[in-house]
Amino acid sequence: MLMKKFLLAVILLSAAAEAGAQTRHWVQFTDKGNSPYMLSNPSAYLSARALNRRTVQNIAIDSLDMPVTPAYVNAVAATGVTVRARSKWLNGVVILTSDTNALNAIAALPFVQGTIQIAQRNAEPDAFDKWAEETMSPAAPSPQRNVSVSPTMLNYGGSFNQIDMIGGVCLHNSGYRGAGMVIAVIDAGFNNVNNMTAFDSLRAHNRILGTWDFVMGDTSVYEDNTHGTYVLSCMGANLPGELVGTAPEASYWLLRSEDAPTENIVEEYFWASAAEYADSVGADVINSSLGYTTFDDPAQNHTYADMDGNTAPSSRAADFAASRGMVVCNSAGNSGSSSWFYIGAPADADSILAVGAVDPAGNYASFSSRGPSADNDVKPDVAAQGQNTVVAGTSGGTFTGNGTSFASPVLCGLVACLWQAHPTMSNVQLMDVIKQSANQYTTPDTYLGYGKPDFCAANLTLSGNPQNLGSSDQLIMSGPNPFGSEMSFSFYSVNNQWLQITITDATGRVVEDRQLFAAGGTTNVFNLSAANYVAEGVYILQVRAQGGNFERKLVKGGQ
């Protein structure tokens, strides 16, 4: 886990930049005026896959989707600076310059709200070892397993435990291994992925869809840091008898956002650009084994109060990504044994899956960062094996690694497999049922959140054959969220009963009040028309049942 911090403050840059130093700056635009792009023609800036994701989940195109205004970018570039990256969600650009006159000229542009220095590149060696909290060891030979498995089961080798622990072997044996799903991996580099035997299946089937380096502005990611290589192997590797990833048949975009030798705020903005790229090319799921709590400049460090899901740029971007219909999986962090033991950004984002780590026996790993978020959301959300996790070595063979960086992709790959099995689910519905399947769902804590999911049980639940749900009434999922002209929710009922359904708006006004019959011993799916509450905003769904009262927050989006 690459740990950073960020103090959110927009400061107008002074002219005191070190002479000749190539510094990175964020240029914040005021609006998206004079744009050649139109909401009515989203195919000009979103791929067909991205648009299909919106259609399936009833998510409207809005101003966040529109690129930054090209004329604004061109005017900034005309001052002689290098435009390194753009962010349409945060509405600005990252520039590289040593010219204080150019910075003054940019600040004076009428559409520029302000500029802020966000990094000065230092010439330091690139080394995975700088993240001392993550350790790598040679993998021991795969132990003999006394288990009963399907004849079609993959030969997992030492990776069996990390996959089976959360129901992944069952899901794979049901035929769901990620085929047709697209995962974007946002990381620090993917050293030697283009040559390693572990990824020959991905290359042979053209399942590495593309690459982009947001740090350097090119497609070259295979000579950079090894961290992303290890992360990718948890999902996409295929070394029979040694390591099989959790989504070996998925396709991948490899996106470098992390400037590994340094610790600077700029990486949060690169992260936002990478997430936007993932959205635009049609990724279904994002894995990010990155996190931000401290920087090289202590004045920019995060405080715990910043971990509210709404402050750090990467956290804001993560929630924007979720609002576009993707599932974002992010490692919780490796600070559990330190004085700062909390999650970092963007794991604090409220609409994503922050993933904590357990050991091979399924117990809390002491290094795994803890919650809650500063606004008291359950964090981490879920957990997977992050201690002694089997990963692929860049020179061949396998290693075991310790870190939530590995727990996140182990879980993320199975998110893609579950979505493959149920492609009409919204991202919110999918995340809800994953949490519902977890072993601590009714008693979440600050160590592992809702606990270890059971993807086998989640698949059965979504297939109408719930498992491990028989002991209590449960509101399983609701959505889409945001919803448009209609919404639905699923409720597991122990007995035959009438449910009292109430929906209230943000003022407490009741907009829906009715009874619905729920059959016992099964998951009931109810569809509701939103004709009675056409105004955009926040609504509360309340379900009163024999087994208790349940609530979900819903957001009404544009039509």
Classify strands 398-402 and 135-138 as parallel, antiparallel or unpaired.
antiparallel
pLDDT of residue 18: 33
Q: CA 198 to CA 193: how far, in whole Å?
A: 8
193 half-sphere exposure, CB direction, 13 A CA radius: 32
pLDDT of residue 273 exceeding 70 = yes
Mean pLDDT of all residues in 434-455 = 94
Is the pLDDT at 187 greater than 90, yes or no?
A: yes
pLDDT at position 38: 97
The tokens for 230 are 């290890």
Q: What is the C-alpha separation between 253 and 285, in angstroms, rounded?
A: 10
Residues 317 and 365 sit within 8 Å (Cβ to Cβ): no
How does pLDDT run across 476-501, given as a tens digit for each residue?
666 666 777 677 777 878 888 999 99
What kind and span of H or E run contains 256? strand 251-256
Q: 133 pLDDT exceeds 60?
A: no
**What is the token pair recorded at 459?**
């698949």
What percent of the chain clears pLDDT 70, i.e. is strictly above it?
Answer: 85
Higher pLDDT, 364 or 146: 364
Class of domain 1-137+160-460: alpha beta
Please give the pLDDT value at position 399: 93
Identify the three-state secondary structure at position 396.
coil
- pLDDT of residue 11 exceeding 60: no
Q: Is the pLDDT of residue 398 over 80?
A: yes
Q: What angle, rounded to 10 degrees, do the helices at 48-57 and 266-281 form?
A: 80
How many of the other CB atoms lie within 10 Å of CB of 513? 12
Alpha-helical (H) ranges within 168-247 are: 168-173, 200-204, 227-236
Length reported for the chain: 559
Quick one: how many helices (H) and strands (E) in the chain?
12, 23
89 contact partners, CB below 8 Å, separation of at least 6? 64, 272, 275, 276, 316, 317, 320
DSSP annotation of 431 reads H
Of 269, 293, 288, which Cα lies nearest the Cα of 96? 269
Residue 122 has pLDDT above 70, yes or no: no
Confidence of residue 238 (pLDDT cuts 50, 70, 90): very high
For Cα atoms 150, 151, 156, give the angle at the middle one, nearest 5 degrees.
75
CB 348 within 8 A of CB 330: no
Chain mean pLDDT for the chain: 87
Q: Which position has the token pair 């498992």?
A: 467
- Which helix H or strand E contains 120, and what residues bound it? strand 112-120
- Of 38-52, 65-79, 177-191, 446-460, minimum mean pLDDT range: 446-460
Cβ count within 10 A of residue 22: 13
Confidence of residue 54 (pLDDT cuts 50, 70, 90): very high
Q: Which residue has the higher pLDDT, 361 or 297?
A: 361
Closest CA to 12 of 98, 120, 104, 94: 104
pLDDT given at position 341:
95
Instruction: Give the residue-averaged pLDDT of 68-90.
Output: 98
- DSSP 8-state code for residue 144: P
CA distance 514 to 546: 16
On whether the pTM is more than 0.85, the answer is: no
- Correct CATH for 474-556 of 3.30.300.30, 2.60.40.2550, 3.40.50.170, 1.10.1740.110: 2.60.40.2550
Q: Which residues are catalytic?
A: 187, 227, 405
**pLDDT band at residue 17 using 50, 70 and 90 as cut-offs:** very low
pLDDT at 3 over 70: no
And the tokens for 463?
């297939």
pLDDT at 140 over 60: no
CA 279 from chain center: how many Å? 11
425 vs 108: CA distance, rounded Å:
47
Show me where the domains of the chain are located. 1-137+160-460, 474-556
pLDDT for residue 506? 81
Report whether 379 contacts 416 (CB < 8 A): no
31-45, 125-139, 231-245, 470-484: which range is least confident on average?
Answer: 125-139
Mean pLDDT (whole number) for 210-237? 97
Question: Does 20 have pLDDT greater than 60?
Answer: no
**Contact present, 23 and 257 (Cβ < 8 Å):** no
pLDDT of residue 494: 83
The pLDDT, as a whole number, for residue 192 is 97
Order of strands across the sheet that contains 398-402: 135-138, 398-402, 389-392
The overall longest dimension of the chain from CA atoms, in Å, is 75
Could you give the CA distance from residue 550 to residue 475 in angstroms, rounded to a whole number?
7
pLDDT tens digits for 310-369?
Answer: 999 999 999 999 999 999 999 999 999 999 999 999 999 999 999 999 999 999 999 999
- Max mean pLDDT among 258-272, 320-334, 460-474 falls in 320-334
- pLDDT in the model for residue 260: 82
Query: Which amino acid is residue 558, in one-letter code?
Result: G
Of the candidates 468, 533, 475, the residue with the CA atom closest to the CA atom of residue 499:
475
Q: What confidence score (pLDDT) does residue 558 get?
A: 53
Segment among 362-366, 370-374, 404-408, 459-463 with least mean pLDDT: 459-463
d(Cα 513, Cα 540) in Å, to the nearest integer? Answer: 12
pLDDT tier, 162 (very low <50, low <70, confident <90, very high otherwise): very high
DSSP codes joined into one string, 202-224: HHHTT-EEEEEETTTTBS--TTS
Residue 541 has pLDDT above 60, yes or no: yes
Report the C-alpha gap between 422 and 465 in whole angstroms.
Answer: 14
